[in-house]
C-alpha cells in the first residue's frame, strides 16, 4: 500500500479527535485503584477505631494522599502527551511533598524534644511503607494500563509518575486502616511507601509502556 | 532530485490544517497528513542512513501512530514537536526490535524541525499494509473496509452489517490498533 493510499484510509471517516482522552483513561484507573486499595485495607487490616474518625490525623492523611494523587495525575497526564512540558507538574509534586514535610516538622517542633523521635517512628514505621506499596499495586496496574493507551514518549518518567499516582491512591486506602497519629510519621513513612511504588513504576515503564 | 528548497510549508499552515483536522475536517486531515508524511520522510531518511529501505515503512508506522494518538495532542503543543516526538519513539522502538543496542545510546540531535526538508517522493515499503488489513479479524476488517475504503457512513455500514453504529466505530478503532501492532515485525 502506498503511503498516499494509507493517508486516504486514515482520513476517511476519521471525524474529530477524541476529546479529553487523557482524563478518560486516568479517571477510571484512579477510581478502580483507590477502591481496590480501600477494600483491601478495610477488609485485610480493618478500619480505624471510631475515635480516630473525627480527629485530625485521618484527615491529614487523606489530604496528603488526595493532594499527591492530583499532583501525580497532572504529571502523568503531561508525560502521556508527546513533547508536552512536564516541569510545572513535577514542581507540583515537590510542593505537595514539601508541604506535608512542613506540617510534619511544625508538629514535631511543637512537642517536647524527648517525644519527637518516638512520634516520628510511631509503632509501625518499618511496616507502614510496605503496606502502602502493597495497597498501591492494583492502582499501579490500572495506571500503567491507562498510560499504555496514551502516548508516553518518556516511558521511565511516565512509569515513575504512574507509581507516584498509584502510591498516593494506596496511601488513601491505607489511611482508612492506619492507627498512627503523628503528621511527621505520615510525612516520612507514607512518602517512603509512595516513593518505592514510584521507583517500581519507573522500572516497569520502559517494558510495559510500549505502543 | 526534487528541488526541496521552496517546499517547506510554514509551521502555521500545517498548524491551521491540523487544528481543523482535530475538529473533524477530514479534507484538512488528509492534507495535513500528506504534509507531515513528506517531512517525516526527510527526518527519518536523515536518521536511518544505515537502513534506507525501512524509511517508508517507518513513515507509515508513524502516520498510523499519529492517527491513533490524535487524542494526546493539545493546542499548546507545536505540531512539529509532537510529530517528531512520536517519530523518534517509533524509531527507537524499531532499533530495539532490530537489536541495535548501540543506536539506543545515540544522541538524537535536536535538529530544528523547521529546517527539515520535505521529501514528497515516496520510497518503497517492505511490508504491504493492504495484506495486513486483509489479515484482520472479520468484524474489524469489514468495518474498516466499508467505512474507509468504500466510503460508507457509519450508519450505512451499520445497516449493511446489522451491527450497531457504535459497534462499527469500536471495530474500526480496534482494527486500526491491531494494524498498528501488526506492523511491528
Shortest CA distance from B89: residue in chain A: A153
**pLDDT at B115 (0 to 100):** 47
pLDDT in tens, A195-205: 999 999 999 99
- Note whether B104 and B170 are same-domain residues: no
Cβ pair B50, B98 in contact under 8 A: no
Looking at beta carbons, which residues of chain A come within 8 Å of B86?
82, 151, 153
- Note whether B111 and B26 are same-domain residues: yes
- Note whether B119 and B131 are same-domain residues: no
**pLDDT at A141 (0 to 100):** 98
Residue spans per domain, chain A: 22-208
Nearest to B127 by CA among B172, B178, B175, B60: B60
The answer to whether the Cβ–Cβ distance between A150 and B69 falls below 8 Å is: yes
Distance CA A150, CA A147 (A): 5
The answer to whether the Cβ–Cβ distance between A10 and B24 falls below 8 Å is: no
Boundaries of domain holding B163: 127-185
Distance CA B38, CA B121 (A): 8
**pLDDT at A53 (0 to 100):** 87
- Note whether B11 and B44 are same-domain residues: yes
Looking at beta carbons, which residues of chain A come within 8 Å of B173?
none
Nearest to B142 by CA among B164, B131, B157, B126: B157
Cβ pair A15, B24 in contact under 8 A: yes
Looking at beta carbons, which residues of chain B come within 8 Å of A5?
130
- Note whether B111 and B131 are same-domain residues: no
| Residue B78, SS3 per DSSP | coil
Shortest CA distance from A153: residue in chain B: B89
Shortest CA distance from A4: residue in chain B: B34
pTM: 0.90
> Touching check for A45 and chain B: CB below 8 Å?
no
Grid cell for residue A46: 480493618
- Note whether B69 and B107 are same-domain residues: yes
CATH code of the domain covering residue B133: 1.10.10.10
> Touching check for A1 and chain B: CB below 8 Å?
yes
Count Cα atoms within 13 angstroms, Cβ side, for A71.
24
Instruction: Give the number of beta-carbon pairs within 8 Å between A and B.
Output: 115
- Note whether B91 and B175 are same-domain residues: no
- Note whether B16 and B60 are same-domain residues: yes
Distance from CA of B5 to the nearest CA of A (A): 22
- Note whether B162 and B104 are same-domain residues: no
Looking at beta carbons, which residues of chain B come within 8 Å of A16?
22-24
**pLDDT at B122 (0 to 100):** 81
Distance from CA of A149 to the nearest CA of B (A): 9
- Note whether B150 and B180 are same-domain residues: yes
* End-of-domain residue from the set B99, B126, B153: B126
Three-state SS string over chain A comes to CCHHHHHHHHHCCCCCCCCCHHHHHHHHHHHHHHHHHHHHHHHHHCCCCHHHHCCHHHHHHHHHHHHHHHHHHHHHHHHCCCCCCCHHHHHHHHHHHHHHHHHHHHHHHCCCHHHHHHHHHCCCCCCHHHHHHHHHHHHHHHHHHHHHCCCCCCHHHHHHHHHHHHHHHHHHHHHCCCCCCCHHHHHHHHHHHHHHHHHHHHHHHHHHCCC
**pLDDT at B9 (0 to 100):** 46
Cβ pair B182, B132 in contact under 8 A: yes
The structural domain count of chain B equals 2
- Note whether B47 and B121 are same-domain residues: yes
> Touching check for A21 and chain B: CB below 8 Å?
yes
* End-of-domain residue from the set B90, B111, B126: B126
Distance CA A157, CA A207 (A): 12
Shortest CA distance from B79: residue in chain A: A83
Residue where the block lists cell 524534644: A113
- Note whether B99 and B150 are same-domain residues: no
pLDDT in tens, A120-162: 999 999 999 999 999 999 999 999 999 999 999 999 999 999 9
Residue where the block lists cell 526490535: B97
* End-of-domain residue from the set B90, B108, B126: B126
Q: Which residues in chain A land under pLDDT 50?
A: none
Residue where the block lists cell 502502602: A132
The answer to whether the Cβ–Cβ distance between A17 and B71 falls below 8 Å is: yes
**pLDDT at B183 (0 to 100):** 85
> Touching check for A156 and chain B: CB below 8 Å?
no
The answer to whether the Cβ–Cβ distance between B71 and A21 falls below 8 Å is: yes
Q: Print pLDDT tens along chain B (185 aa).
A: 444 443 444 567 899 999 999 999 999 999 999 999 999 999 999 888 888 889 999 999 999 999 999 999 999 999 999 999 999 999 999 988 887 655 544 445 555 554 466 777 788 888 888 889 999 999 999 999 999 989 899 999 999 999 899 999 999 999 999 999 988 76
Distance from CA of B10 to the nearest CA of A (A): 20
**pLDDT at A126 (0 to 100):** 95
ipTM score for this prediction = 0.90
CB atoms within 10 A of CB B185: 9
Cβ pair A193, A131 in contact under 8 A: yes
Amino acid at each position: 500500500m502506498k503511503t498516499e493510499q494509507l493517508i486516504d484510509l486514515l482520513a476517511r471517516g476519521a471525524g474529530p479527535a477524541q476529546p479529553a482522552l487523557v482524563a478518560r483513561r486516568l479517571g477510571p484507573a484512579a477510581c478502580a485503584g483507590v477502591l481496590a486499595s480501600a477494600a483491601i485495607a478495610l477488609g485485610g487490616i480493618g478500619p480505624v477505631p471510631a475515635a480516630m474518625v473525627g480527629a485530625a490525623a485521618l484527615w491529614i492523611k487523606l489530604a496528603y494522599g488526595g493532594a499527591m494523587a492530583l499532583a501525580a495525575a497532572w504529571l502523568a497526564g503531561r508525560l502521556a502527551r508527546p513533547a508536552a512540558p512536564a516541569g510545572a507538574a513535577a514542581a507540583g509534586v515537590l510542593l505537595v511533598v514539601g508541604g506535608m514535610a512542613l506540617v510534619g516538622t511544625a508538629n514535631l517542633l511543637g512537642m517536647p524534644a524527648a517525644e519527637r523521635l518516638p512520634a516520628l517512628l510511631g509503632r509501625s514505621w518499618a511496616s507502614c511503607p510496605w503496606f502502602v506499596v502493597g495497597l498501591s499495586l492494583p492502582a499501579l496496574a490500572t495506571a500503567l494500563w491507562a498510560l499504555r493507551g496514551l502516548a508516553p514518549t518518556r516511558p521511565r518518567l511516565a512509569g515513575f509518575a504512574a507509581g507516584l499516582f498509584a502510591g498516593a491512591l494506596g496511601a488513601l486506602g491505607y489511611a482508612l486502616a492506619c492507627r498512627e497519629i503523628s503528621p511527621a510519621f505520615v510525612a516520612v513513612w507514607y512518602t517512603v511507601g509512595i516513593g518505592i511504588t514510584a521507583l517500581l513504576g519507573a522500572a516497569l515503564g520502559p517494558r510495559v509502556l510500549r505502543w | 532530485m526534487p528541488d526541496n528548497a521552496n517546499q517547506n510549508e510554514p509551521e502555521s499552515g500545517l498548524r491551521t490544517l491540523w487544528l481543523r483536522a482535530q475538529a473533524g475536517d477530514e479534507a484538512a486531515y488528509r492534507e495535513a497528513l500528506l504534509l507531515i508524511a513528506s517531512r517525516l520522510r526527510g527526518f527519518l531518511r536523515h536518521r536511518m542512513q544505515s537502513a534506507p529501505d525501512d524509511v517508508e515503512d517507518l513513515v507509515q508506522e508513524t502516520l498510523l501512530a499519529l492517527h491513533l494518538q490524535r487524542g494526546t495532542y493539545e493546542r499548546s503543543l507545536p505540531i512539529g514537536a509532537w510529530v517528531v516526538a512520536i517519530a523518534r519513539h517509533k524509531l527507537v522502538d524499531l532499533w530495539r526490535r532490530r537489536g541495535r543496542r548501540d543506536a539506543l545510546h545515540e544522541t538524537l540531535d535536536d535538529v530544528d524541525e523547521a529546517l527539515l526538508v520535505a521529501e514528497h517522493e515516496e520510497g518503497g515499503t517492505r511490508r504491504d499494509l493492504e495484506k495486513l488489513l486483509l489479515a484482520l479479524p472479520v468484524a474489524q476488517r469489514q468495518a474498516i473496509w466499508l467505512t474507509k475504503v468504500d466510503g460508507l457512513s457509519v450508519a450505512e455500514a451499520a445497516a449493511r452489517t446489522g451491527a450497531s453504529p457504535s459497534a462499527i466505530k469500536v471495530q474500526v478503532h480496534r482494527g486500526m490498533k491491531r494494524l498498528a501492532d501488526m506492523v511491528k515485525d
